[in-house]
Amino acid sequence: MVERNIYCALGLNDQEYQKIEQIMGREPSSTELAMFSVEWSEHCGYPRSRSLLGLFPKEGKYQAMIGEDSGGIFYADTAIVFKMESHNHPSQVEPKQGAATGVGGIIRDIFTAGAKPIASLDSLRFGPLTEPYNRFLLKGVVDGIAFYGNCLGVPTVGGEVYFDESYSGNCLVNAMSIGICPKDQLARARAFGVGNSIMYVGSSTGRDGIGGCSVLASHEFGEGEEKRPTVQIGDPFTEKCLIEATLEMLATGHVVGIKDMGAAGLTCSSAEMAHAGESGMEIDLDKVPLREEGMEAYEIMMSESQERMLVCVKKGKEEEISDIFKKWDLHGVVIGQVTDDKNIRVKYQGKVVADIQTEALAKAPLYQMPFQEPANLKVMNTLDLKTIPIPADSNQVLLSLLSSPTIASKEWVYEQYDHMVQTNTTVLPGSDASVLRIKGKEWGLAATSDCNSRYCLLDPYRGAQIAVAEAARNLVCSGADPAAVTDCLNFGNPEKPDRYWYFKNCVMGIVDACKAFNIPVVSGNVSFYNESPKGAINPTPTIGMIGILPDVAKRCTQYFKDDGDVIILLGETKEELGGSEYLKVIHGKVAGQAPELDLLKEKAVQKAVYEAIQQGLLNSAHDCSEGGLAVALAECCVSNRDKAIGSNINSSFVIRNSSLRKDALLFGESQSRIIISCSKDKTAKVEALAKANQVPCQKIGQVGGESLKIEGLIDLPLNKLNDAWRGALKQYV
């Protein structure tokens, strides 16, 4: 029997090792054991989450496409392919390379589906910037994203950055990519057709990234733990060539299937392609291009070296494919063939070093995990507003919130990214969502990523629903119809019942919200074990969402435009302060209930705004989220760098809401609210649309002047708002 310390070092437990012996009917070889360890890891096989992931809706108002490595929707004659994935643990260990290879990996999932990558987004989470190591992580991650994406020529068009103590010791780097292609040119990750060739294409294989998915991504960080050898090294220039070569290869029609060698490397790509094609596969590792001497078979099978793919090619077409990759100075070699025995057979130095049923390898065991509500949740949910003093100076509160790194402008981040390469970005980073034109088409795409993890900490079901609702709201504010979701589910150790309780309830929240919006979940990723000796991260089910603009010329942005425009608030403001940025920043508390969410009311507000934009009635639209109404108004005033413009919120609005605490009115985070502006002559039509959709609608003021005034509560000049909001993040970095 293999010594226990050997399989435990690979991330396998006693029961899993015994199951492997039972499947094999013998003691596994070192290569077989390594292959099982990566394929059964949480990062690849999802043994602790797969049963819940099957509950996500796969159909919606647009026709969905669910692939092996990515998914998407069809619109007109086009397939829109997109996915989000985590690279959290590598980025905590080596921020630049961890983030860079996260970008490279997710983009490969897009172009191996046959789609040309057109945009990237990133959702980032760090601990407080008062800690030097968190500042180091932020700088390194941003540098890595900029390095890889800018060199690759794929624009980074949007995302989000949050800061919270729970991410100290375990940052989150969630990368999202979008691509398009004619709907009849999609590729799949399948190998079939006995005798068809298996080709290795791309860069060579080294020892970088060995065990990344089983050792690094499937365990929590221990005190002083050092895991640098498991971080991959990326080369964006090689990937740029790989994109061009791959798309050229797919255009030949000779490709049966293709898969990125991402997590678990050659093991994952070979086993999962064969299993998806209901076939077997035989490969010879002597033919794999290596860049290091003396590599063992298990190292070659586990390596996560970047910029590599496995391709199933029609027999007789190998030379033509190889010539394409030679032209781009890349490897393109035959390393095996498809067989009919449904086994993955690996040869090395003249010997069979692995012979495993593809189904046993590709389908990890399924675990039903115990779950239990956290013991301290009821205490966290307790909040008596009578004990929260109302600050005397609302001006100072607003400036403090605008200076909070979570709310402050992220220009320092996105100005390092090339968001104009490919010249399709028509709404730049910094608005509610980014908007892309599609060359030669009237329609366009909008994309966003969203999640307030504090809400999920206080109420995972409602918090996850709010993440879906806010993503949809951001798209609608940009003029888009929410179409489909990808997700990145970031949680702590699933073997701890309270962590799994959060995961289960967040999943159910996403399921029910997506069903309410009639949008499918087409792809995604689960990242467990995000915790360190400091504790677990806040539950963070990041939602990536795309929307369709039937006419991209009707796109909308968040900032005020013209003097004299009427400012209207759609939706209802409630006396809610639980989980708010105000409560955290001003009073140092994370407590209370997450804001209420009525999905029917949310859909009604979104429908009214979408219809108003389609009818050309609005000059701006901006959702109220972190920081509440006052912060949203300030952003409407100063987020256009070229033309800051003030606003005057009238006393009648304040009087109508006098029953609310003034801090709840100004800084509470009630959901389903959107601030819109329009010219005076269009006000009646906007009000009529709101009434038709049964949406609360208040004219609250008008655009103009050199300050933000909320009668009797706020009076701040634009330069002070701008300095607080734009300067906060830069002062830390």
- Give the whole-number percent of the chain exceeding pLDDT 70: 97
- Three-state SS annotation for 141-191: HHHHHHHHHHHHCCCEEEEEEEECHHHCCCCEEEEEEEEEEEHHHCCCCCC
Q: What is the mean pLDDT of the chain?
A: 94
Q: Are residues 616 and 471 in the same domain?
A: no
171/219 same-domain check: no
Burial 357-376 (b: 16+ CB within 10 A, else e): bbebbbbbeebebebeebee
- Is residue 587 a contact partner of residue 675, using CB atoms and an 8 Å limit? no
Task: Enter the tokens of residue 420.
Answer: 């104009």
- Do 590 and 383 contact (CB within 8 A), yes or no? no
Nearest CA among 305, 281, 302, 280 for reference residue 291: 305
Contacts of 584 (CB under 8 A, 6+ apart): 454, 590
610-630 pLDDT, tens digit each: 999 999 999 999 999 999 999
pLDDT in the model for residue 295: 95
pLDDT band at 728 (very low <50, low <70, confident <90, very high): very high
- Per-residue pLDDT at 542 exceeds 60: yes
Q: Where are the alpha helices (DSSP H) in 581-709?
A: 581-587, 599-614, 628-638, 651-656, 662-667, 683-692
The predicted structure's pLDDT at residue 209: 67
43 catalytic? Reply is yes
Q: 530 with 566, same domain?
A: no
Q: Which domain holds residue 572?
A: 556-732
Torsion angle defined by CA atoms of residues 191, 194, 197 and 203, in that order, rounded to the nearest 10 degrees? 30
Q: Return the DSSP state at 392.
A: S
pLDDT at 523: 96
Asked whether residue 379 is domain-assigned, the answer is no
* One domain for residues 438 and 514: yes
Mean pLDDT (whole number) for 278-284: 97
Q: What are the angstrom distances between the C-alpha of 589 and each of 142, 435, 579?
A: 29, 36, 8
Give residue 661's pLDDT: 96
Distance between CA atoms of residues 245 and 26, nearest Å: 42
When pLDDT is cut at 50, 70 and 90, the band that residue 5 belongs to is confident
Strand pairing report for 280-284 and 343-348:
parallel
Burial class (CB in 10 A: 0-12, 13-18, 19+), 133: middle
CA distances from 310 to 88, 276, 613, 617 (A): 25, 14, 45, 51
Residue 394 lies in a domain: no
- 233 & 168 share domain: no
Task: Kindly state whether residues 170 and 230 are assigned to the same domain.
Answer: no
Instruction: Examine the pLDDT at 227 and tell me if it is beyond 50.
Output: no
- Residue 90's nearest CA partner among 177, 175, 18 is 175
| Rounded Cα gap, residues 583 and 2, in angstroms | 55
Catalytic, out of 87, 89, 254, 419: 87
- Model pLDDT, residue 11: 82
Asked if 527 and 560 sit in the same domain, the reply is: no
pLDDT at residue 134, rounded to an integer: 97
Summarised one tens digit per residue, pLDDT across range 168-224 is 999 999 999 999 999 999 999 999 999 999 999 999 999 886 754 444 445 565 655
What is the structure's pLDDT at 9?
82
Q: What average pLDDT does this structure show over 128-157?
A: 94
C-alpha distances in Å from residue 448, one per residue of 351, 367, 474, 582, 592: 50, 33, 7, 24, 28
pLDDT at site 263 = 80
Q: Is 400 helix (H, G, I), strand (E, B) or coil?
A: helix
In a domain, 384, yes or no: no
What's the number of CA atoms in the CB half-sphere (13 Å) around residue 286?
Answer: 7
User: Are 163 and 195 found together in one domain?
Assistant: no
Question: Does 435 share its domain with 537?
Answer: yes
**Residue 509, amino acid:** G
| The pTM of the whole model exceeds 0.75 | yes
What value does the mean pLDDT take over residues 228-248? 84
Q: Please check whether residues 620 and 679 belong to one and the same domain.
A: yes
Nearest to 502 by CA among 50, 15, 49: 49
User: Is a pLDDT exceeding 60 seen at residue 387?
Assistant: yes
DSSP run (H or E) holding 240: helix 236-251
Q: How far apart are CA 471 and CA 517, in angstroms?
A: 11
Over residues 473-481, mean pLDDT: 98
Does residue 170 share a domain with residue 205? no
89 CA to centre of own chain: 15
pLDDT in tens, 482-526: 999 999 999 999 999 999 999 999 999 999 999 999 999 999 999
Task: Give strand pairing partners of 334.
Answer: 199
Is residue 376 over pLDDT 70?
Answer: yes
CB atoms within 10 A of CB 222: 10
Confidence band, pLDDT 50/70/90 cuts, at residue 43? confident
Which is nearest to 101 in space by CA: 152, 56, 53, 52? 152
Q: Which of 328, 362, 396 is the last residue of a domain?
A: 362
Task: Count up the domains in the chain and report the number.
Answer: 3
CATH number where 336 lies: 3.90.650.10
Task: Using CB atoms within 10 Å of the CB of residue 699, give its burial: 0 to 12 exposed, 13 to 18 middle, 19+ buried.
Answer: middle
Per-residue pLDDT, 216: 46
- Domain-terminating residue out of 344, 362, 380: 362
**CATH number of the domain to which 542 belongs:** 3.30.1330.10
Evaluate if residue 355 carries a pLDDT over 70. yes
- State what percent of residues in the chain have pLDDT above 90: 87
43, 219, 419, 622: which one is catalytic?
43
Residues 178, 258 within the same domain = no
Instruction: State the pLDDT at residue 219.
Output: 54
- Residue of 584, 552, 336 lying closest to 441 (CA atoms): 552
Determine the pLDDT at residue 217.
47
219-224-225-226 Cα dihedral, nearest 10 degrees:
150
Q: Decide if 425 is inside a domain.
A: yes
CA–CA gap between residue 463 and residue 627 (Å, rounded): 16
Partners of 223 in beta bridges:
none
